[in-house]
Amino acid sequence: MDSALPATQAKAEDASSSTRRETLSITDNRTGKVYEVPITHGTIRAVDLRQLRVDPADFGMISYDPAYNNTASCISRITYIDGDAGILRYRGYPIEELAEKSTYLETAYLLLHGELPTSAQLQDWHYHITHHTFIHESIKKFLDGFHYDAHPMGMLVSTIAALSTFYHDAKDVFNPASRKKQTYRLMGKMPTIAAFSYRHTLGMPFVYPDNELSYPGNFLNMLFRTSETRYRPNPTLEHALDILFILHADHEQNCSTNTIRGVGSSHVDPYCAAAAAIAALYGPLHGGANEEVLRMLNEIGTIQRVPEFIKRVKSGEMRLMGFGHRVYKNYDPRARIIKKIAYEVFDLMGKNPLLEIALECERIALEDDYFVKRKLYPNVDFYTGLIYQSMGFPMTMFPVLFAIPRMSGWLAQWEEMLLDPEQKIARPRQIYLGHDPRPYVAIDQRS
């Protein structure tokens, strides 16, 4: 994009022209100067503001946007969200259609390659991921070192980072063959490390991958197999897990995706960058929310106590976990699909007793002025916990179940960032309001 010029220098345009000018005029009232900056895709470049100076020594205007409320950090072609309309698409395909017709591995291929695979491409993709599910025996020893009650998310963060010490070729981030190899490894090993972390917390022996099973089927095998010679996943649960994986595969520039882009922008290997993303996901305001929803529903305990709880939320004492979203100001389309799957799982496993409490929270919140005014609707995490619990997962595994499929989205976004010629090492600016220069004070002279 051309750099903007003050209007005085800018090429004059015919004001009477019927062609709309894609520019923004800014008057700096400190100097009286008028500037014209280009608008592209409804956006101005923050760096174009730098020409607004009071005097030549002035650094120039910067924009202040804590938490990136109104700042685009990249151009992306992966995931589209219209938060007001409740729309989510991967590479142009509506999430509802993918959830109904695709599989997680096919969707992951789509996210990473931009197009749905042919059957030969899908077979090849499947083959390579399946053949990277085993982990080095030393990683098992590493996992054994964790305390018996370690949170599986903490184990996952550390073990994914530790993979960086095993695969030195991963440092070659601008080599497409290396990126492909690390993608197979990360996609293949995520379920294995997640399942091994879970088994470690139970003190149960690790179950090795069964490469004859589907991606979610093998994951269930590594989690739940006991003395059977061959584990056969229940098809309803296997299918439900596959859909949940599709729904969690990507979500444009959320906190953890922004993290993998930011950390990856230093050109560190993808294991370290992915570990950072998992750490970001772990937080209760992000992927840790599904675990918090279950804790909250348990704390509420009965339907009768829901109104009292909502009152506490409205007074600002706590948040209604699983509600609200930075981008969705409408029902999260993933929550709608998840609610449907919940009933399929409950039909098989029996209704989760916490469902009634969740439904009552939703009913009251959707009618209450506090939530309506702030456009707070159930998000993806509101019902997932109930499904996971009915499927036999302990609460600490919920964020892990979010992290496994999100790996495909993270890797797609990481690669897009690396290949974007406009991207550089992420480095925001600050507004410094600290002390002016002052002399060092010797310790015996400090009060």
Just list the catalytic residues: 286, 325, 381
Task: Supply the minimum distance, in Å, between the C-beta of residue 373 and ligand CMC.
Answer: 9
What is the residue whose two structure tokens read 């310790």? Answer: 443
**Which of 33/319 has CB closer to ligand CMC?**
319
> Which pair of structure tokens corresponds to residue 248?
């969690």
CB of 386 to ligand CMC, least distance (A): 14
Q: Could you tell me which of 137, 141, 128, 108 has the C-alpha nearest to residue 406? A: 108
Compute the least distance from the CB of residue 382 to ligand CMC, in Å. 7
Tokens (6 digits) for 230: 């061959």
Picking from 235, 195, 179, 217, the residue whose alpha carbon sits closest to that of residue 416 is 179
CA distance 284 to 268: 26
Nearest distance, CB of residue 245 and ligand CMC, angstroms? 15
Of 287, 294, 378, residue with least CA distance to 86: 378
Could you tell me the smallest distance in angstroms from the CB atom of residue 374 to ligand CMC? 4
**Cα separation, 412 vs 113, whole angstroms:** 8
Residue nearest to ligand CMC (CB): 324
Task: Please state, in angstroms and rounded to a whole number, the distance separating the CA atoms of residues 112 and 15.
Answer: 46
Nearer to ligand CMC, 171 or 314 (CB): 314
Helix axis angle for 235-247 and 104-113, nearest 10°, is 20
Number of CB atoms found within 10 A of residue 91's CB: 19
Min dist CB 387 to ligand CMC, Å, is 15
Q: Tell me the C-alpha distance between 386 and 398, whole Å.
A: 10
**CA–CA gap between residue 198 and residue 206 (Å, rounded):** 9
What are φ and ψ of residue 386, in 5° steps? -65, -40
Which CB sits closer to ligand CMC, 278 or 380?
A: 380
What are the backbone angles phi and psi of residue 417, rounded to the nearest 5°?
Answer: -65, -45
CB-CB contact of 212 with 130 (8 Å)? no
- Given the complex with ligand CMC, which of 102 and 254 has the nearer CB atom? 254
Per-residue tokens: 166: 């095993």
Cα gap 249→88, rounded to integer Å: 12
Q: Which residues in this chain contact ligand CMC in the complex, by CB under 6 A?
A: 251, 254, 285-287, 289, 313, 319-326, 374, 376, 379-381
Nearer to ligand CMC, 262 or 324 (CB): 324
Residue whose CB is less far from ligand CMC, 132 or 251: 251
Q: Which is nearer to ligand CMC, 113 or 312 (CB)?
A: 312
Quote the least distance from Cβ 324 to ligand CMC, whole Å.
2
- Residue 196 DSSP SS3: helix
